[in-house]
Amino acid sequence: MKPRIIVCGLGRTGYKVYSLLKLQGATVIGINDRPLPHLEADIAANTVLIGDFCSAPILLAAGIRDAQTLVLASNNDAVNLAALTQARVLNPHIRIINRLFNDSLGDRLDHILPGHFSMSVAALSAPVFAFAALGNRAIGQLRLFNQTWPIREEYIDEDHPWLGRKLSELWEERSRMLIYYLPAYMQMDLVSAVLSGRHLEYGDRLIIATQPRNHSARRTVRQQMLNLLVGLRYFQQHIRPTILVTIVLLLTILIATVTYTAASAHVSVIDALYFSVGMITGAGGGEEVAEMAPADIKVFTVLMMLVGAAVIGIFYALLNDLILGTRFQEFWNTARVPHRNHYIICGLGGVGVQVLQQLHANGCEIVVIEHDPNNRFLNVARALKVPVIIGDAKVATTLQTARVGGAAALLSVTSDDVINLEIALSVKGLAPRIPVIVRSQDPQFANLAQQVFDFEAVLSPVELAAPSFAAAALGGRVLGNGMTADILWVALSTLITPAHPFCGKRIQDVAIDTDLVPLYLETKRQTTHGWNLLEVELTPGDVLYLTMPATHLEQLWRTQGATLPVQMS
């Protein structure tokens, strides 16, 4: 039986998910709050309803009582929550894929509501933006065995220790999971390469996930010293007034000491110094030095008291502000723009803040350029001690302030395609060799812009996230995604049902046929991985964890003979 799915909110993301599901042969009903030109054919075919998908009559008309899955794809969290509650009243057992920007709210709903899976376009697409900025290396993380496994790419060069080593040896190690394999001179899937005893050759690339270790990353001594020196440079402008007042105070004490010593042969230098310091600071002591002195020295003493009170007052105020105020804290905590090898993020919106967190988790130095001083994510950047420049990223002086000439890459990820293009072109004019990654809402424009302007990557969050939503709607739980050599892959888990196309087949055969990489298998009795995993025959109730190219996701749910080509806008 084909899965019956309702997709609510047919904007860019919703319509892409709706089209993907139709393409794979699923029975899909769409609901949108208003008619749009690209929906006319679907409205005529009664596969798209127009109305408020938070209302019971519209959901009932879409078949909510018999539906298996509801995809809430609106970009408004409040609307999606309202639809969620109404749908669960009408069908308490329906699976819900909920597009939520609020991660913490999504986590709570996932734990409280059975069959609820929250997803975010920004969270799904941000890792791919980060991968592109880091040189198209598929680095990131996967959630496996209740642990977060870091992912890295191994490029096999002439000095690599794995050169000539059998892939089967790496496959068997339990502290490592092979995610994807890209041979240099031929096309071969990972499982076939493992079974055929293939050796790693020069130019091969291997994506692996390694079991996390319990240690915290620490900055090197060299990095700490560089930060300290840069901090001193910024701190000196605040400490300069304190130094000047300190010099004036010492000169005042010196003048008073010399005067009292010269005025009386009976006063020693130590006694004169003791009285001068006590007089100026107000502590007192050694008053006989002035009492036994002539009248002109007493007048001088009065003047020194007045001058000293002013100088010492200013000195205490500056010292107080420096040590106990904000200056000393700024010296240690203020984020400063690095000189080189940093990543510049232009636009701190939903995608921008996710990219920021991805790059920061990878230990990268980052600079943010944001034009809105009231942006709600500024506190996130400051909490991570990331320098934020409030200004227009299209202006050359702003980019120069961010030291674009020494940057490792720049990401233009505002919500406006025209602004992103203008920023990218400005960067190319100032620093032609800097890799530029551009966000585009329109997938067609993304492909054309990359060819015309020769940017490193022009990426559409909708295109990157929609396959994950579609996979989740059809029974998969998405664990992560990544990109290497222009291939987008998705890591997910899929429940084997009697109607599943993999049911009754050996994992080894399925992997070779579909170019997937099995990670491990959960059954009612045990968890299987390694060599034993390849020989297992999939049965209903099994949960298979795997990675595969996003373009092959239809293999997970395509039914026999289902070919429904659908024109996508």
Query: Is-contact 538 502, C-beta < 8 A?
Result: yes
Query: Is-contact 556 494, C-beta < 8 A?
Result: yes
Nearest to 496 by CA among 537, 550, 548: 537
Using a cut of 0.85, tell me whether the model's pTM lies above it.
no
What are the tokens at 35? Answer: 């008619």
- Spatial separation of the C-alpha atoms in residues 423 and 407, rounded to whole Å: 15
Number of alpha carbons in the 13 Å side-chain half-sphere of residue 313: 6
Tally Cβ neighbours within 10 Å of residue 356. Answer: 25
Q: How far is CA 387 from the centre of its chain?
A: 16
What are the tokens at 463? Answer: 């295109």
Tally Cβ neighbours within 10 Å of residue 465. Answer: 25
| Complete DSSP assignment for 310-331 | HHHHHHHHHHHHHHTSSHHHHH
- Spatial separation of the C-alpha atoms in residues 39 and 50, rounded to whole Å: 10
Encoded amino acid at 488, one letter = L
pLDDT at 9: 94
Tens-place pLDDT, residues 416-426? 999 999 999 99
What are the tokens at 488? Answer: 């987008």
- Spatial separation of the C-alpha atoms in residues 273 and 270, rounded to whole Å: 5
Number of alpha carbons in the 13 Å side-chain half-sphere of residue 497: 12
Tens-place pLDDT, residues 87-103? 999 999 999 999 998 88
User: What is the residue-level pLDDT of the chain in tens, covering all 569 positions?
Assistant: 456 899 999 998 999 999 988 877 788 999 999 998 989 999 999 999 999 999 999 999 999 999 999 999 999 999 999 999 999 999 999 999 999 988 889 999 999 999 899 999 998 888 888 888 887 555 566 767 666 677 778 889 999 999 999 988 888 777 778 888 888 888 888 888 888 889 999 999 888 887 765 433 344 455 556 555 655 555 566 677 778 888 888 888 888 888 888 877 677 888 888 888 888 877 777 677 777 677 888 788 888 888 888 888 888 787 777 666 555 454 444 457 888 889 999 999 999 999 999 888 878 889 999 999 999 999 999 888 898 999 999 999 999 999 999 999 999 999 999 999 999 999 999 999 899 999 998 877 777 787 788 788 888 898 888 888 888 887 767 777 666 666 677 788 888 888 888 889 999 999 988 888 898 888 877 888 777 888 899 999 888 988 888 777 767 755 443 333 333 33
Nearest to 357 by CA among 371, 343, 370: 343
Nearest to 180 by CA among 219, 148, 220, 152: 152
Phi, psi of 254 (to 5 degrees): -65, -45
